[in-house]
């Protein structure tokens, strides 16, 4: 098990949070929520050791396109880079849909 952290500059505020995926074989879980500071911070917990350079490539590319100020927690159970990107896109889509709808991304969350 390996713990990796990444940080990127951010340009705009995000107001809602999202949770997608499951820590199942070949899959991962993404928790994404607003960051108080104007930057993006990513923490990865992965079951597969030695792939830090691949994580960096995948996350560098993703956060060059999405520049919301969020904190991201990834719990990975051997997802391939394609699955990682899809799950991140799914999480971002959820917060953007919530922004467009003017509500929270997870209406089921206790308030």
Partner 1 sequence: MTDQAITAAPFVARESFIELGARERARALLDPGTFRELLGPFDRLTSPWLPLQGIVCQADDGVVIARGTIDGAPAVVAAIESAFQGGSIGEVAGSKIAGALELALRDCENGRPVRPVIVFETGGVRLQEANLGLAVIAEIQSAIVSLRRHVPVVGVIAGMVGCFGGMSLAAALCTRLVMTRQGRLGMNGPEVIEQEAGIDELDATDRLRIWQLIGGAQRVASGFADMLVEDDASAIATAVHVAFSQGVASPHRSEAVQRYLDSLARIDPATVAPEAMRAVFRPCAQQDACDDPACGQHAAPQANREESQ
Question: 29: which residues sit within 8 A by CB, 6+ positions away?
Answer: 19, 20, 21, 22, 23, 74, 75, 76, 87
Among 23, 43, 83, 89, indicate the residue that binds partner 1 (CB under 8 A): 23
Among 4, 35, 77, 83, indicate the residue that binds partner 1 (CB under 8 A): 77
Residue 22 binds partner 1, judged by CB under 8 A: yes
Q: What beta strand segments (E) does 1-111 contain?
A: 2-9, 12-13, 18-21, 28-34, 39-46, 68-76
Which of these ranges, 5-13, 45-53, 81-89, 92-100, lies near partner 1 under the rule CB under 8 A? 45-53
Residue 5 binds partner 1, judged by CB under 8 A: no
Among 47, 89, 96, 99, indicate the residue that binds partner 1 (CB under 8 A): 47
Residue 67 binds partner 1, judged by CB under 8 A: no
Q: What six digits make up the tokens of 98? A: 């919530």
């Amino acid at each position: 098990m390996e713990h990796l952290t990444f940080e990127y500059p951010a340009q705009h505020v995000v107001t809602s949070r999202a949770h997608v995926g499951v820590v199942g074989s070949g899959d991962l879980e993404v928790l994404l929520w607003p960051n108080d500071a104007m930057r993006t911070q990513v923490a990865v917990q992965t079951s597969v050791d030695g792939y830090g350079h691949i994580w960096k490539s995948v996350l560098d590319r993703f956060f060059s396109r999405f520049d919301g100020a969020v904190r991201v927690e990834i719990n990975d159970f051997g997802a391939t880079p394609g699955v990682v990107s899809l799950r991140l896109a799914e999480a971002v889509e959820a917060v953007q849909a919530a922004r467009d709808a003017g509500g929270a991304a997870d209406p089921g969350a206790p308030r």
